[in-house]
Amino acid sequence: MKILIVDDELSPREQSKRLLAEFFPEISVCAEAESVNSAYEAILIHQPDVVLLDVDMPDGTAFDLLKRLPQINFNIIFITAYEKYALQAIKFSALDYMLKPYTSGEFVEAIRKAQRKEEAAESGLKFNALLQNFQNNQQPSKIVLRTSDSINVIQLDDIIRLQADGAYTTFYVSGRKPVVASKNLKEYDSMLKNCGFIRTHQSHLVNSKYITCYHKANGGSLGLNDKTLVPVATRFKEKVLQSLERI
């Protein structure tokens, strides 16, 4: 297995090489790069299996690099300092990343994930979603959902509501069957809270654009334009009402 390390700073490159030598001696570092241009050349020459890819470089971003490549047939672990829109785009596209400064444990986990090669079709869906999300530069427009047997790319505007199902979350989407995603509702609440979604209950998250009314009876509930009623729990009621005032 060959890995390419792309970072414009020497210290992170040295840290990556040290951790690889310590925990993954079977992996060879085929090259290092410190810019979009040098990374592009290294990928074409060395054909790496995995690329450790810094998001921000002197001559552009990781996304500029990906758009130049004729195909992406390697796994990527993005490395970034906190940068809101880039990090959002990566998260919503279900791709792996490490946030600087990262620990040795985080590094080891990321490399182990990268060793499990995805199917080309799955990677293609994720990268297409990533590039579209990053182009928006403010809010992601798509989310990649993994189920037990498929990968789904869904427009955020088409999501009506989410409902907890134990360790899973059911997405109710306009014009298609529900999608049962393999993450819990808490994770999606964290991702979607700034995208027009409102937490109404321990088990419910709704897209505000689909709310038609608020019912005061029986403790409170929201009526949605797909004719469903979503309960509003007492501890969420104040925030729900404040959110409705801003719609």
| % the chain with pLDDT above 70 | 95
Residue 136: which pLDDT band, with cuts at 50, 70 and 90?
low
The overall average pLDDT reported for the chain is: 91
Go through 15-53 and write b for each residue having 16 or more CB atoms within 10 A of its CB, e for each that does not.
bbeebbeeebeebebbbbbbbbbbbbebbeebebbbbbb
Containing 223, the helix (H) or strand (E) segment is: strand 221-224
Region 51-68: mean pLDDT is: 92
Q: What is the reported pLDDT for 189?
A: 95
Residue 120: which pLDDT band, with cuts at 50, 70 and 90?
low
Region 98-114: mean pLDDT is: 92
Class of domain 147-246 as given by CATH: mainly beta
Both tokens assigned to 99 = 């946030």
Q: Nearest to residue 96, comparing CAs of 51, 128, 148?
A: 51
Which residues, at least 6 apart from 206, have a Cβ–Cβ distance to it below 8 Å?
160, 161, 162, 197, 198, 200, 222, 224, 230
Global pTM exceeds 0.75: yes
> Distance of CA 8 to CAs 67, 179, 221, Å?
19, 40, 52
Instruction: Please tell me the distance from the alpha carbon of residue 67 to that of residue 190, in angstroms, as a whole number.
Output: 29
Instruction: Please tell me the distance from the alpha carbon of residue 68 to that of residue 193, in angstroms, as a whole number.
Output: 33
pLDDT, greater one: 125 or 159: 159
CB 144 within 8 A of CB 155: no
- Please say whether the structural domain 2-136 has been given the CATH code 1.10.287.470: no
CB 129 within 8 A of CB 153: yes
Region 97-106: mean pLDDT is: 92
> What are the residues facing 204 on neighbouring strands?
163, 201
Strand, helix or coil at 189? Answer: helix
CA 200 to chain centre: 23
Region 50-69: mean pLDDT is: 92
**How do residues 187-230 score in pLDDT, each as one tens digit?**
999 999 889 999 999 999 999 999 999 998 888 999 999 999 99
Domain boundaries of the chain, sorted by first residue: 2-136, 147-246
CA-CA-CA-CA torsion sign (139, 145, 151, 154): negative
Instruction: Please tell me the distance from the alpha carbon of residue 112 to that of residue 237, in angstroms, as a whole number.
Output: 43
Containing 145, the helix (H) or strand (E) segment is: strand 142-146
What is the chain's length?
247
